[in-house]
Chain A
Amino acid sequence: GAGVSQSPSNKVTEKGKDVELRCDPISGHTALYWYRQRLGQGLEFLIYFQGNSAPDKSGLPSDRFSAERTGESVSTLTIQRTQQEDSAVYLCASSLDRGHGNTIYFGEGSWLTVV
């Protein structure tokens, strides 16, 4: 597609349930990022993929969070046993590669509400 696509755009889930968030990066982009933005807060880095490997998982807040990427394309962010503090918008971004001159393009985010 023309841009980074994320689904679902909105998700309301009950505390304790698992959720999966999907990201389709721009075709040909090998670098993929996940960020989280809580209400009124700045963006927090979660994880970076280069191809299908994740050399930097340092931002994942707990072991309830995991992510994978397959085929150097689609990525899935999974949150297990969701908590109310997980409520946020989860933003995916991609770039051609991790070269410093490459612009990073963001999707519109998946808005997660845990009730």
Chain B
Amino acid sequence: KQEVTQIPAALSVPEGENLVLNCSFTDSAIYNLQWFRQDPGKGLTSLLLIQSSQREQTSGRLNASLDKSSGRSTLYIAASQPGDSATYLCAARNSGYALNFGKGTSLLVTP
């Protein structure tokens, strides 16, 4: 069974800092890995999807990388802003139908 772990569980940084969120997974036979953002009391918003054949994806200040062989993905956020404060979830897709989610990293960006 795929196990997805996210470290750290919580992170607080001052505005303007670049930061990296980590995601690891135990079964490297993934089809894709997706990063989501969850705001309090809200659903999930998809940020980036990396297919197994890709190494990275970029959207604005976000860059996600994927290393299947080591079972790792990182989400890089450049020039963080208070509006980036949220919980960030990664999810791995294997051969089944379900996405396997980590428990998330709770990010606080302070002004």
A101, B32: Cβ atoms closer than 8 Å: yes
Q: C-beta contact mask, A39-65 vs B, less than 8 Å → 1, else 0?
A: 001110100101000011011000000
Check: A107 CB closer than 8 A to any chain B CB: yes
Determine the chain B residues whose CB is within 8 A of the CB of A43 once the complex forms.
89, 91, 99, 101
Range of interface residues on B (Cβ < 8 Å): 20 to 34
Rounded to whole angstroms, the CA-CA distance of A98 and B46 in the bound complex is 16
- Pick the contact of B51: A4, A100, A108 (CB < 8 A): A100
Whether A103 contacts B96 in the complex (CB less than 8 A), given A42-B101, A42-B103, A43-B89, comes out as no
Rounded to whole angstroms, the CA-CA distance of A41 and B38 in the bound complex is 13
Whether A100 contacts B103 in the complex (CB less than 8 A), given A48-B97, A48-B98, A91-B44, comes out as no
A-B contact count (CB 8 A): 58
Range of interface residues on A (Cβ < 8 Å): 20 to 34
B104, A42: Cβ atoms closer than 8 Å: yes
B102, A106: Cβ atoms closer than 8 Å: no
Interface positions, chain B 63-111, Cβ under 8 Å from A, are: 89, 91, 93, 96-104
- Pick the contact of B49: A56, A59, A103 (CB < 8 A): A103
| Chain B residues touching A, majority SS | strand
Whether A56 contacts B99 in the complex (CB less than 8 A), given A104-B34, A106-B43, A108-B43, comes out as no
Determine the chain A residues whose CB is within 8 A of the CB of B45 once the complex forms.
106
Determine the chain A residues whose CB is within 8 A of the CB of B89 once the complex forms.
42-43
Interface positions, chain A 45-101, Cβ under 8 Å from B, are: 45, 48, 50, 55-56, 58-59, 91, 93, 98, 100-101
List A residues at the B interface (Cβ < 8 Å). 4, 6, 33, 35, 41-43, 45, 48, 50, 55-56, 58-59, 91, 93, 98, 100-101, 103-109
Sample of 20 A–B contacts (CB below 8 Å) = A33-B98, A41-B103, A42-B102, A42-B103, A43-B89, A45-B98, A45-B99, A48-B97, A58-B98, A59-B98, A100-B32, A100-B52, A105-B46, A106-B36, A106-B43, A106-B46, A107-B43, A108-B42, A109-B42, A109-B43
List B residues at the A interface (Cβ < 8 Å). 31-32, 34, 36, 42-46, 49, 51-52, 89, 91, 93, 96-104
